Amino acid sequence: MTDGDAERASTPPLLTYAVKQVELAVRAHLDDLLKPYGVTAMQYTALSVLEHGGEASAAQLARHSFVTAQSMADMIRTLTDKRLVRRDRDPADRKRLLISLTPGGLELLDVVRKDVEELDRMMTGALTARQREALRKSLNECRAALQRI
Protein backbone atom coordinates (compact mmCIF):
# COMPACT_ATOMS: atom_id res chain seq x y z
CA MET A 1 0.00 0.00 0.00
CA THR A 2 1.40 3.39 -0.97
CA ASP A 3 1.32 6.49 1.23
CA GLY A 4 -1.45 7.92 -0.98
CA ASP A 5 -3.53 4.73 -0.59
CA ALA A 6 -3.12 4.81 3.19
CA GLU A 7 -4.08 8.49 3.32
CA ARG A 8 -7.21 7.89 1.20
CA ALA A 9 -8.18 4.89 3.35
CA SER A 10 -7.92 6.94 6.56
CA THR A 11 -9.83 9.95 5.18
CA PRO A 12 -13.49 9.91 6.20
CA PRO A 13 -16.04 9.95 3.37
CA LEU A 14 -17.41 13.30 2.29
CA LEU A 15 -20.53 14.48 4.07
CA THR A 16 -22.39 14.43 0.75
CA TYR A 17 -21.77 10.68 0.65
CA ALA A 18 -22.99 10.21 4.22
CA VAL A 19 -26.14 12.25 3.54
CA LYS A 20 -26.86 10.19 0.42
CA GLN A 21 -26.40 6.94 2.36
CA VAL A 22 -28.91 8.11 4.99
CA GLU A 23 -31.35 9.20 2.26
CA LEU A 24 -31.11 5.79 0.56
CA ALA A 25 -31.63 3.95 3.85
CA VAL A 26 -34.64 6.11 4.77
CA ARG A 27 -36.14 5.66 1.31
CA ALA A 28 -35.74 1.86 1.46
CA HIS A 29 -37.43 1.72 4.88
CA LEU A 30 -40.20 4.08 3.74
CA ASP A 31 -40.81 2.01 0.61
CA ASP A 32 -41.17 -1.13 2.76
CA LEU A 33 -43.44 0.65 5.22
CA LEU A 34 -45.65 2.15 2.48
CA LYS A 35 -45.82 -0.84 0.14
CA PRO A 36 -48.97 -2.29 1.76
CA TYR A 37 -50.72 1.01 0.99
CA GLY A 38 -49.68 1.04 -2.67
CA VAL A 39 -47.59 4.21 -2.29
CA THR A 40 -43.88 4.81 -2.85
CA ALA A 41 -41.58 6.92 -0.68
CA MET A 42 -41.51 9.61 -3.38
CA GLN A 43 -45.31 9.68 -3.56
CA TYR A 44 -45.46 9.90 0.23
CA THR A 45 -43.05 12.85 0.08
CA ALA A 46 -45.33 14.67 -2.35
CA LEU A 47 -48.37 13.97 -0.16
CA SER A 48 -46.47 15.24 2.90
CA VAL A 49 -45.49 18.42 1.07
CA LEU A 50 -49.15 19.06 0.31
CA GLU A 51 -50.14 18.32 3.90
CA HIS A 52 -47.68 20.88 5.26
CA GLY A 53 -47.95 23.51 2.55
CA GLY A 54 -51.50 23.23 1.28
CA GLU A 55 -52.29 23.29 -2.41
CA ALA A 56 -49.47 23.80 -4.90
CA SER A 57 -48.82 23.94 -8.60
CA ALA A 58 -47.12 20.93 -10.16
CA ALA A 59 -43.88 22.92 -10.50
CA GLN A 60 -43.93 23.95 -6.83
CA LEU A 61 -44.72 20.40 -5.76
CA ALA A 62 -41.86 19.03 -7.88
CA ARG A 63 -39.41 21.54 -6.43
CA HIS A 64 -40.40 20.76 -2.82
CA SER A 65 -40.51 16.99 -3.44
CA PHE A 66 -37.06 16.95 -5.08
CA VAL A 67 -38.16 15.48 -8.42
CA THR A 68 -38.22 16.73 -11.99
CA ALA A 69 -41.30 18.35 -13.47
CA GLN A 70 -41.79 15.33 -15.76
CA SER A 71 -41.56 12.89 -12.86
CA MET A 72 -44.02 15.01 -10.91
CA ALA A 73 -46.49 15.04 -13.82
CA ASP A 74 -46.43 11.23 -13.86
CA MET A 75 -46.71 11.11 -10.06
CA ILE A 76 -49.68 13.49 -10.00
CA ARG A 77 -51.43 11.32 -12.58
CA THR A 78 -50.83 8.23 -10.42
CA LEU A 79 -51.91 9.95 -7.19
CA THR A 80 -55.00 11.33 -8.92
CA ASP A 81 -55.90 7.86 -10.20
CA LYS A 82 -55.54 6.58 -6.61
CA ARG A 83 -57.81 9.44 -5.47
CA LEU A 84 -55.14 10.76 -3.09
CA VAL A 85 -54.85 14.19 -4.74
CA ARG A 86 -57.01 16.31 -6.99
CA ARG A 87 -56.32 19.01 -9.54
CA ASP A 88 -58.39 22.17 -9.58
CA ARG A 89 -58.15 25.37 -11.59
CA ASP A 90 -56.54 28.25 -9.74
CA PRO A 91 -59.29 30.87 -9.36
CA ALA A 92 -56.66 33.61 -9.75
CA ASP A 93 -55.18 32.09 -12.94
CA ARG A 94 -57.52 29.78 -14.85
CA LYS A 95 -54.59 28.38 -16.89
CA ARG A 96 -52.90 27.05 -13.76
CA LEU A 97 -53.85 23.83 -11.97
CA LEU A 98 -53.44 23.50 -8.23
CA ILE A 99 -52.82 20.11 -6.64
CA SER A 100 -54.34 19.37 -3.22
CA LEU A 101 -54.94 16.40 -0.96
CA THR A 102 -58.24 14.58 -1.07
CA PRO A 103 -59.85 13.13 2.06
CA GLY A 104 -58.31 9.81 0.97
CA GLY A 105 -54.84 11.39 0.85
CA LEU A 106 -55.30 12.88 4.30
CA GLU A 107 -56.51 9.53 5.62
CA LEU A 108 -53.48 7.71 4.20
CA LEU A 109 -51.12 10.19 5.85
CA ASP A 110 -52.94 9.74 9.16
CA VAL A 111 -52.76 5.94 8.89
CA VAL A 112 -49.00 5.84 8.26
CA ARG A 113 -48.01 8.74 10.52
CA LYS A 114 -47.12 6.65 13.59
CA ASP A 115 -44.99 4.24 11.55
CA VAL A 116 -43.13 7.10 9.85
CA GLU A 117 -42.59 8.80 13.21
CA GLU A 118 -41.25 5.51 14.57
CA LEU A 119 -38.80 5.31 11.65
CA ASP A 120 -37.66 8.83 12.52
CA ARG A 121 -37.16 7.79 16.17
CA MET A 122 -35.23 4.65 15.15
CA MET A 123 -32.97 6.70 12.88
CA THR A 124 -32.14 9.21 15.61
CA GLY A 125 -32.43 6.90 18.62
CA ALA A 126 -28.76 7.19 19.56
CA LEU A 127 -28.98 11.00 19.61
CA THR A 128 -30.02 13.22 22.50
CA ALA A 129 -32.87 15.69 22.02
CA ARG A 130 -30.27 18.45 21.74
CA GLN A 131 -28.32 16.50 19.09
CA ARG A 132 -31.51 15.85 17.10
CA GLU A 133 -32.33 19.55 17.10
CA ALA A 134 -28.74 20.42 16.13
CA LEU A 135 -28.90 17.88 13.30
CA ARG A 136 -32.21 19.30 12.06
CA LYS A 137 -30.78 22.83 12.15
CA SER A 138 -27.56 21.77 10.40
CA LEU A 139 -29.41 19.91 7.65
CA ASN A 140 -31.69 22.90 7.07
CA GLU A 141 -28.64 25.18 6.85
CA CYS A 142 -27.03 22.80 4.33
CA ARG A 143 -30.18 22.77 2.20
CA ALA A 144 -30.43 26.57 2.33
CA ALA A 145 -26.78 26.92 1.28
CA LEU A 146 -27.36 24.70 -1.75
CA GLN A 147 -30.48 26.62 -2.72
CA ARG A 148 -28.41 29.81 -2.94
CA ILE A 149 -26.11 28.27 -5.54
* pLDDT tens for the chain, residues 1 to 149: 666 666 667 788 899 999 999 999 999 999 999 999 999 999 999 999 999 988 898 888 988 888 888 889 999 999 999 999 999 988 888 778 899 999 999 999 999 999 999 999 999 999 999 999 999 999 999 989 988 88
Q: How confident is the model at residue 148, as a pLDDT?
A: 86
Give the dihedral sign, CA 77/45/116/21: positive
* Burial of residue 17 (number of CB atoms within 10 Å: 0-12, 13-18, 19+): exposed
Length of the chain: 149
Q: What whole-number distance in Å separates Cα of residue 75 and Cα of residue 78?
A: 5
pLDDT at 93: 80
Burial class (CB in 10 A: 0-12, 13-18, 19+), 33: middle
- Give the model's pLDDT for residue 1: 62
| Rounded Cα–Cα distance for residues 79 and 46 (Å) | 9
Residue pair 84/104 in contact (Cβ under 8 Å)? The answer is yes
Helix ranges restricted to H, the chain: 3-10, 15-34, 41-53, 58-65, 69-81, 103-123, 129-147
Q: For each of the domains in the chain, give its residue range(s) and CATH number, in order of start.
A: 13-147 (1.10.10.10)
Give the pTM.
Answer: 0.81
